[in-house]
Amino acid sequence: MKYAESHGVLMSVVTVPLAGLMVIFGGISIAIGFKAKWGAWLIVLFLLPVTFIMHNFWTITDPMSRQVRATA
């Protein structure tokens, strides 16, 4: 959760477990075919904010950090 906080995630104590539940329930829903569209939407709702908040490589200005982060 400290990693999420370092990226500016608000209330990471609540949002990180909630994000985990979204992915778990979305994945199970798709895997067993029960309300698969709802499950897919849960995963989309997880991926959109995570992509722009946690994986914002375009904001890194240091070339070395940018290279390390791009290969990690």
User: Using CA atoms, how far apart are residues 19 and 50, in angstroms rounded to an integer?
Assistant: 9
Q: What is the pLDDT of residues 2-16, one digit of tens each?
A: 778 877 787 888 889
26 vs 61 pLDDT, higher one: 26
Tokens of 3: 């990693």
Question: Confidence band (pLDDT; 50, 70, 90) for 21?
Answer: very high
Q: Confirm if 48 and 39 have CB atoms less than 8 A apart.
A: no
Q: What is the mean pLDDT of the chain?
A: 85
Evaluate if pTM is beyond 0.75: no
pLDDT at 69: 59
Report which listed range, 17-21, 37-41, 56-60, 65-69, is most confident: 37-41
pLDDT at 72: 54
User: Using CA atoms, how far apart are residues 54 and 72, in angstroms rounded to an integer?
Assistant: 13
